[in-house]
Amino acid sequence: MANTTSKQWILSDRTTSLPTISGPKPTFTLSTAELPPLQEGQLLVQVRYFSNDAGIRTFISCTVDQERMYVPPVPIGAPMRAGLLGEVLESKSPDFKSGDFVFAGSGSWAEKIVVNAADVQLTPPLPSGLSMTHYLGAFGGTGLTAHVGLLHVAQAKPEHTIVVSAAAGATGSMVVQVAVKLLGAKRVVGIAGGPEKCAWVRDYLGAHACVDYKSPTFKEDLKAATPDEVDIFFDNVGGPVLDGVLARMKRYGVVAVCGSVATYSSDEPMALRNWFEIVSQRLTLKGFFIFDHMDKVPEAREALIKAAAEGRIKVDIEQVVPAKIEEVPNVWIDVLKGVNKGKSVTKLIA
């Protein structure tokens, strides 16, 4: 491999507010690095797509002590981590060849990366002309989290009333569809921000109802949308949304805690007025990550791909945003702002 350079975004500040790329203390700084020569078992990969996940906000700063984080945070001065799809430019592994497309769950915001072949997965073509970008969304972390989290972790059943927060987001939009179209749940209620997103969750994803958490009548609207109370709450948000749903949970109900977007860019403590509902209603709260349930992944991915190929679920719920390397952080920051509907993917362009 000849000397190869790559622009990459470095974490330069652990902000507790919304990340930035400008100002006196930018969160990220763009730099150019010389990549090391390939060693045996390594690949040189040209990045094609980045996965824009709200959860990687916790790699920058989090209320959890670093020693207790589920994965180590990104060190100051290191490239920002993200899931990605890339094309193999050069291989020193018998398992991969030039031109192969691979998925890296812990890649970098960079133009090119050197990775160990053992740390990436080959991404074979999908049926029915489905885009490979779905390996980052519907058939990747977000879709698998939705399927495994709802059916295995929360043990949702057809007779249940299921509520999903951030229902217009990457994971939430898949949870709604798994609940409605694969499980056939009795009632599925989304929670989203604004009338447009709520209409999309109802009319396009198929939820029986959707409640706008930004509305001043959110609590009343949630009560009206859940007349039989709530068996399963799939929570991606935390904060006031979680507080509102706790007051609607059925006795012995389950809250599957997938994320806490409401707290990611705030240093204020999360206030829960309805915390005692957990005791009063004997609720179970289950925090989970998909990599704790990898034995369920093959079956879940197969089910999702089959359902998409047959048209039973919609996977065109992704926004592929073309962007130069200089624009990559801002596309991701838009996810934290709630700009996207469905899965956000960056297509890296020259």
3.90.480.20, 3.40.50.300, 3.90.180.10, 3.40.50.11810: which CATH number matches 5-137+317-348?
3.90.180.10
As assigned by CATH, the class of the 141-291 domain is alpha beta
Q: Write down the pLDDT at residue 275.
A: 96
pLDDT at 281: 98
Please choose, from the candidates 19, 2, 29, 4, the residue with its C-alpha nearest in 3D space to the C-alpha of residue 111: 4
Question: What pLDDT, in 10s, does the model give residues 204-220?
Answer: 999 999 999 999 999 99
Percent of the chain with pLDDT over 90: 89
Checking if the pLDDT of 267 tops 80, the result is no
Instruction: Give the mean pLDDT of 270-276.
Output: 94
Per-residue pLDDT for 2 more than 70?
no
Whether the CB-CB separation of 46 and 89 falls below 8 Å is answered with: yes
Band of residue 3 on the pLDDT scale cut at 50, 70, 90: low
The amino acid that residue 41 corresponds to is: G
Q: What is the pLDDT of residues 135-156, one digit of tens each?
A: 999 999 999 999 999 999 999 9
Taking only the tens place, the pLDDT of each residue in 58-108 is 999 887 787 888 888 999 999 999 999 999 999 999 999 999 999 999 999
Statement: residue 235 has pLDDT above 70: yes
DSSP code of residue 269:
P
Question: What end-to-end distance do the CA atoms of the chain give, in Å?
Answer: 21
pLDDT over 80 (residue 1): no
| Both structure tokens of 349 | 């362009």
Domain with CATH 3.40.50.720 in the chain: 141-291
pLDDT band at 269; cut points 50, 70, 90:
confident
Could you report the per-residue pLDDT of 112-136, keeping only the tens digit for each? 999 999 999 999 999 999 999 999 9
- Number of H helices and E strands in the chain, helices first, is 9, 15
| Secondary element (H or E) of residue 143 | helix 141-148
Q: What is the pLDDT of residue 264?
A: 85
Q: Which residues contact 297 (CB under 8 A, 6 or more apart)?
A: 144, 148, 290
Q: What is the mean pLDDT of the chain?
A: 95
CA distance 87 to 83: 14
The CATH 3.90.180.10 domain(s) of the chain lie at 5-137+317-348
Over range 159-177, report the average pLDDT.
Answer: 98
**Tokens read off for 38:** 């390939």
Average pLDDT for residues 163-192, to the nearest whole number? Answer: 98
- pTM of this structure: 0.92
| Residue (of 158, 166, 203) closest to 55 by Cα position | 166
| Predicted confidence band of residue 221 (pLDDT cuts 50, 70, 90) | very high
pLDDT tens digits for 8-55? 999 999 998 999 999 999 999 999 999 999 999 999 999 999 999 999
